[in-house]
């Protein structure tokens, strides 16, 4: 039952992540940097402490009692993840929900599962998997095979993008994706996918905060047999400060460069709607990790949780891609190619999760 609830929580989180960009499409008359940072203020500054206040008793005391090193590393990984998150928005602009998410999240899945084990190879930590273990155990080799399969899936998706670009005239490509650009999109999504995995490293770095929250909760609930469902909500506050820092600086630079500071008060634009939909997008974005934390409390923050979360996002994002007609007008060969690419990535995701479950 605990595992079932973990899967359900990850599905809800994946649905939120795969859907959050949709409200941005309702924003009119604003530049990208304007609606991105308005949504980001809700994602990274307003909603996280509100969620912690509602779910984690004494969360401010936990942060105050945390060592500077833990806070610093959590914030650092948040900054790097913030660069990846910033480029996510660009990736969706250039490739669309379906192709963009498949490429980006494929990289995020692979690196999120692998890099922590490489780190623990040099920084030995009890209970943490090292890269050597992945190479020398049967379950570890299954995980590595899944990562290789993931990269193959990314290549197949990229191939589908090349076919789409060759087949459709420029105006047709931009009916569903106004700024479609395959080369820019693939470069941006690759970098974003790698850096977005830093969120998982930030959760690892902020572990002492979630463990403290869990200890307080278990002390108040001695009869409990599971971990505190909301223990990660305190970690997110510090981690997302890093993401806010990166995104705020870049969006302000773009506002200055593009002379778009006037967007926020431009009465020719539907300001009430713009603020509402940007805030809605930001709030939905945060819900992905709110529910990820709940799923992680039931399944653990290993490759299984991360990979399962990525799989659900890929599924939901591609459902939206179909609904938004991003692949209309392409040949059967191209549709078959993107379908096989998505299937390959999903198979890799479950292979990594299966290998990790054998370790447990």
Of 13, 24, 18, residue with least CA distance to 281: 24
Backbone angles phi, psi at 259, to 5 degrees: 55, 50
DSSP type of residue 264: G
- Please return the burial class of 13, using the count of CB atoms within 10 Å of its CB with bins 0-12, 13-18 and 19+: buried
DSSP 3-state of 229:
coil
Tokens 């993840």 locate to 81
Q: In the chain, what percentage of residues exceed pLDDT 70?
A: 85
Asked if residue 210 has pLDDT above 90, the reply is yes
| Tokens of residue 102, six digits | 């498949």
State pLDDT tens for residues 144-195: 887 788 778 767 876 777 777 677 666 655 555 566 777 787 888 888 878 8
More confident: 322 or 63: 63
Taking each helix axis as running N to C, give the angle between helix 198-205 and helix 97-122, from 0 to 180 degrees, rounded to the nearest 10. Answer: 40
Of 242, 248, 214, residue with least CA distance to 228: 214
More confident: 283 or 291: 283
State pLDDT tens for residues 35-80: 999 999 999 999 999 999 999 988 999 999 999 999 999 999 999 9
Alpha-helix residue ranges (DSSP H) falling in the chain: 2-19, 32-41, 47-55, 59-65, 68-95, 97-122, 131-136, 138-167, 170-176, 182-196, 198-205, 207-220, 233-258, 271-299, 303-323, 332-359
Of 178, 184, 107, 186, residue with least CA distance to 324: 178
| Tokens of residue 239, six digits | 């981690």
Mean pLDDT score of the chain: 83
Of 294, 305, 303, residue with least CA distance to 355: 303
Q: For residues 273 and 27, give the distance between their C-alpha atoms in angstroms, rounded to a whole number.
A: 7
User: For the residues of 82-105, what is the DSSP string, one character each?
Assistant: HHHHHHHHHHHHHH-HHHHHHHHH
Residue 321 has what pLDDT? 73
The pTM (predicted TM-score) of the whole model is 0.74
Q: Are 87 and 192 in contact (CB under 8 A)?
A: yes
């Amino acid at each position: 039952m605990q595992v079932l609830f973990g899967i359900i929580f990850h599905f809800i989180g994946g649905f939120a992540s795969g859907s959050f960009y949709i409200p941005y499409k309702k924003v009119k008359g604003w530049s990208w940097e304007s609606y991105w940072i308005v949504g980001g203020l809700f994602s990274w500054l307003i909603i996280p402490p509100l969620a912690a206040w509602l779910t984690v008793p004494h969360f401010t005391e936990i942060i105050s009692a945390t060592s500077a090193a833990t806070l610093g590393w959590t914030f650092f990984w948040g900054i790097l993840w913030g660069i990846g998150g910033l480029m996510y928005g660009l990736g969706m602009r250039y490739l669309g929900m379906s192709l963009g998410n498949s490429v980006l999240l494929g990289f995020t899945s692979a690196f999120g599962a692998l890099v922590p084990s490489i780190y623990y190879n040099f920084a030995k930590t009890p209970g943490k998997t090292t890269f050597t273990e992945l190479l020398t155990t049967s379950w570890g080799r299954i995980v590595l095979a899944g990562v290789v399969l993931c990269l193959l899936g990314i290549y197949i998706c990229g191939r589908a993008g090349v076919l789409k670009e060759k087949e459709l005239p420029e105006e047709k490509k931009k009916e569903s994706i106004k700024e479609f650009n395959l080369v820019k999109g693939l470069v941006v999504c690759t970098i974003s996918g790698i850096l977005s995995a830093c969120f998982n490293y930030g959760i690892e770095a902020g572990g002492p905060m979630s463990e403290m929250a869990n200890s307080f909760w278990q002390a108040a609930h001695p009869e409990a047999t599971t971990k505190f469902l909301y223990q990660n909500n305190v970690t997110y506050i510090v981690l997302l400060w890093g993401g806010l820092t990166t995104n705020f600086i870049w969006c302000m630079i773009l506002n200055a460069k593009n002379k778009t500071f006037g967007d926020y008060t431009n009465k020719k634009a539907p300001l009430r709607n713009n603020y509402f939909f940007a805030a809605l997008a930001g709030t939905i974005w945060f819900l992905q990790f709110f529910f990820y934390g709940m799923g992680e409390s039931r399944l653990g923050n290993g490759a299984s949780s991360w990979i399962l979360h990525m799989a659900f996002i890929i599924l939901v994002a591609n459902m939206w891609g179909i609904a938004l007609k991003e692949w209309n007008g392409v040949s059967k060969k191209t549709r078959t190619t993107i379908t096989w690419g998505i299937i390959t990535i999903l198979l890799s995701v479950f292979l990594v999760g299966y290998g990790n479950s054998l370790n447990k």
